[in-house]
Amino acid sequence: MPSKEPRWGRVWRYEGPRGVVWRIRYKDASGRRVMETLGKEPLWNRKRAETELRRRIVDVERDGYRKPEKIHFDEFAGRWLTEYLPGRGLKLTTTDGYRQTISNHLLPAFGRVLLADLEQHPELIDRYVTRKIQAGYSPKTVVNHLLCLQVMLKRAVRWRLMRTNPVSGCDRPRVWESEMNVLSEVEIARLWTAYGELEWEAEAKERVWWQIARTITFFGLGTAMRRGELLALRWKDVRLLEGQVRVREALVKSRFTTPKSRASRRMIELGPRTKDLLAEHWRQTPFQGEDELVFSHPEKGTPLDPGKLARVYLKPALKRAGITKPFRPFHDLRHTALTHEAAAGNPMAYVQLKAGHSQSQITERYIHASQVLFPGAAARGEERMFGRDPFDVASA
C-alpha cells in the first residue's frame, strides 16, 4: 500500500516476486499520471525516492515535462537516421560509420527494447559492453559503439522520449594505445633497394606500377600525408619550384571529400629528396594537367586502388627488404614519417602542422615514440650543455 505522501506525488515500497523496489507516482504537464519504478533496495530507499520525486515535479513545473511515449529502440533509430542524421552536415565516412554500427550492433542488441526500459535499466548497456568484449571486439571498437549510442540517446532526450541518457554514466572499456610500428633508417634504405630489385625483375608492363608504388611510398614518408590525401592529390596543388604541396582533398571509399578535419587542410614543405622524387614522377607520368591526379592509373588516369597497392606492391617490397614486424601499409608509413620528424628535433608545432593534427595531444604521441625508438637523445643533450668531455673525473 502507498504510504502517506505529499500532495504532489506518492512514494512507496513495493515487495514483489523479484525483491523489494521503490516506486514513485506523479502527474506530468499534460495531467497524465506517471508511475516509475526507480530500483531495488538497498540502492534505493525512502529518502532517495522522495528526492527523485521532487526532481520530477521540478521538471514538470519548470520545463513542462510530459510522460515519454512508448517507443522501441529500432523505431527511434529509424527516425534518428532519417530525421536527424542527414541534416548534420557530417562527412559521408562518419554517417556510414553510424549506419553500420546501428545496423550491425545496436539494433540486434536493443532493437525491441523500449527507450523507457533502456533508461531505467542501464545494466543493459553494461551487459552489452561485456558481451562485445567477450566476443573479441577491441575496447576501442566498443567505445565507438557507445559513442554512437550516446549521440543517439542524447537526441532522444532532446525529443523528450527519455528523461536522461543512460550512456552518460556507463563505464567505458579501458583503451590501450597500440605500439606504433616505425621503420628505422636502415629499414627505410632496405625498402628503397627492395623496390628497385622488384622493379628490375618485373615484366615490362609491370615496371611502371612498381615505379608508382615506390614513388607514392616514399612521397608518403617524406610528407606524412594520409592515404586518402595521397590518392586525391592533384597537380594544381603542387608547387614544384617552391617545394610545397597543399592538402585540401581526400579520397575515401572511392569518393572525393574534404580532409579529415579543418587542421588537415594544410601546406606541406617538401624536403629536397622528396621534391626531386616528385619532379621525376612528373616527367614520367602522361597525366600532367592541373586537375589530374598526381598518383593515378598509368594508362587511364583514374584513382589508384589502395588495397592493390598494399597487397601487390608494398607488402612484397617489405618482405624483400626483410621487414617482418607487423606493418600496416600507409598507416604506419605516416607513423614512421612523423616519428622521424620528432626524432630529428623539429619543434612539436612543426610536426603538428605537418601531420594536420587538430590537437597537440595527438602529436605528443610521436614525440614520446621518438624518445623510445631513437636512443641517444640524452647523450646529445649533455654534449650540447657540457661539451664532449665536461668532467675530468681523474683530476677530481
| 68-81 residue pLDDT tens | 678 999 999 999 99
One DSSP character per residue, 117-154 reads: HHHH-THHHHHHHHHHHHTT--HHHHHHHHHHHHHHHH
pLDDT of res. 97 = 92
DSSP lists the bridge partners of residue 25 as 10, 35
- Phi/psi of residue 303, each to 5°? -60, 145
Of residues 395 and 388, more confidently modeled: 388
pLDDT score at 3:
46
CATH topology match: 73-158 vs 185-334: no
- Domain-by-domain residue ranges, the chain? 10-63, 73-158, 185-334
Residue 25 and residue 19: Cα distance in Å, rounded? 19
Pick the CATH number of 73-158 from 1.10.10, 1.10.150, 3.30.1460, 1.10.8: 1.10.150
Residue 390 has pLDDT above 80, yes or no: no
Q: What is the 3-state secondary structure (H, E, C) of 238-293?
A: EECCCCEEEECCEEECCEEECCCCHHHCEEEECCHHHHHHHHHHHHHCCCCCCCCE
CB 40 within 8 A of CB 120: no
Question: pLDDT tens digits for 373-385?
Answer: 666 666 666 676 6
Considering the segment(s) 185-334 as one domain, its CATH architecture is: Orthogonal Bundle (1.10)
Cα–Cα distance, 344 to 359 (Å, whole number): 21
Sequence-ordered list of residues with C-beta below 8 angstroms from that of 72, at least 6 positions apart, any chain = 111, 112, 113, 114, 115
**312-332 average pLDDT score:** 92
Q: Which uninterrupted H or E stretch holds 27?
A: strand 19-27
Which residues share a beta bridge with 195? none
Mean pLDDT over all residues of the chain? Answer: 87
What beta strand segments (E) does 151-254 contain? 238-239, 244-247, 250-252
The amino acid sitting at 76 is: F
pTM summary value:
0.71
Using alpha carbons, list the distances in angstroms from residue 330 to 229, 243, 337: 11, 22, 10
At position 324, the amino acid (one-letter code) is T
Taking the CA atoms of 271, 320, 303 and 206 in sequence, report the sign of the dihedral they define: positive
Peptide bond into 42 cis (omega under 30): yes
Question: Residue 5's pLDDT band (boundaries 50, 70, 90)?
Answer: very low
Count the Cβ atoms, other than its own, within 10 Å of residue 233: 26
| Top mean-pLDDT range of 35-44, 46-55, 86-95, 189-198 | 189-198
CB neighbourhood size of 112 (10 A): 10
Q: Is the pLDDT of residue 251 over 60?
A: yes
